[in-house]
Amino acid sequence: MRGLALIVARDLRLALRQSADAWLAVLFFVLTAALFPFGVGPEPNLLARIAPGIIWVVALLAVLLSLERLFLADFEDGSLEQLLLSPLPLELAVLGKVLAHWLTTGVPLIAAAPLLAILFNMDLSGLGVLLLAMLLGTPTLSLVGAVGAALTLGARRGGVLIPLLVLPLYVPALIFGVGATDAALLGLTARPHLLLLGAVLLVMLVITPLAGAAALRQAVE
C-alpha cells in the first residue's frame, strides 16, 4: 500500500512540476467542445440535446491525448526498469500510475464539465448525473488507456497506434455514460446506466492492471 502511495505521490509531483501537460488536456477538452457550435450551428435546443454526447466524446479524446506520456518518460529514463526490479508487484505499480493519471487528467476534466454544460445550455437538472457518470467512467478510460500505452511502448508509430487500440474498448463506457445523462435529462432513472458503468469499471479494475503489467514486462525484457 505504501509503495502504491509513493508512486502516486511521485507522479503527482512530476505532473505539478510540468503542469502545462495537465492544463493541455483540459484546454483541449474545452476548445474542441467549443468547435461544435461552429460545426452544427448555434441552435440552442440542438446543442442542449447533444451536450452529453459531445462532453463525453471530447473527454475521451482529451484522455487519449495524454496517454502516450503515461509510461513513455519512465521507459526512456530507465525508471520503468527500477519499478520492475522493486519488490512492489508490478500490477500495483500500474494501478498507482493509472491513479495518478486519473487524478491529473480525469479529475480536471470532471471539474471542467459543468462549464461545458452551461456553455451548451444543457438542462442543469442532469448535471449531477453527468458528473456522477464521469466520476464512474473516467477511471475506466485511464485503466484501458494504460494497457494501450503499455502495449505500444517502443513500437514504431506508437502514438498513432494507441487510438486504434484503445478507442474500440472505450465504446461501452461512452454508451453507458451518455445513456445515464440522457436518461436523467428525459426524466427517467439513470440507475441502470450508472450500475453498468460501475460494473465496467470493476471488470476493468481487475483485468487492466494484469494486462498492463504483462505488457510492461515484455516491453522492458
Residues that bind another protein in the complex, under the rule CB under 8 A: 144, 147, 151-152, 154-158, 161, 164-165, 167-169, 171-172, 203, 207-208, 211, 214-215, 218-219
Report in angstroms how near the CB of residue 164 gets to another protein at its nearest: 5
Report in angstroms how near the CB of residue 200 gets to another protein at its nearest: 9
**Would you list the DSSP string of the chain?**
-HHHHHHHHHHHHHHHHTHHHHHHHHHHHHHHHHHHHHHH---HHHHHHHHHHHHHHHHHHHHHHHHTHHHHHHHHHTHHHHHHHSSS-HHHHHHHHHHHHIIIIIHHHHHHHHHHHHHTT--GGGHHHHHHHHHHHHHHHHHHHHHHHHHTTT-TTHHHHHHHHHHHHHHHHHHHHHHHHHHHHTTS--HHHHHHHHHHHHHHHHHHHHHHHHHHHHHH-
Report in angstroms how near the CB of residue 65 gets to another protein at its nearest: 18
Q: Which is nearer to another protein, 115 or 165 (CB)?
A: 165
Q: Which is nearer to another protein, 2 or 157 (CB)?
A: 157
Report in angstroms how near the CB of residue 165 gets to another protein at its nearest: 5
Q: Which is nearer to another protein, 106 or 209 (CB)?
A: 209
Q: Which is nearer to another protein, 40 or 118 (CB)?
A: 40
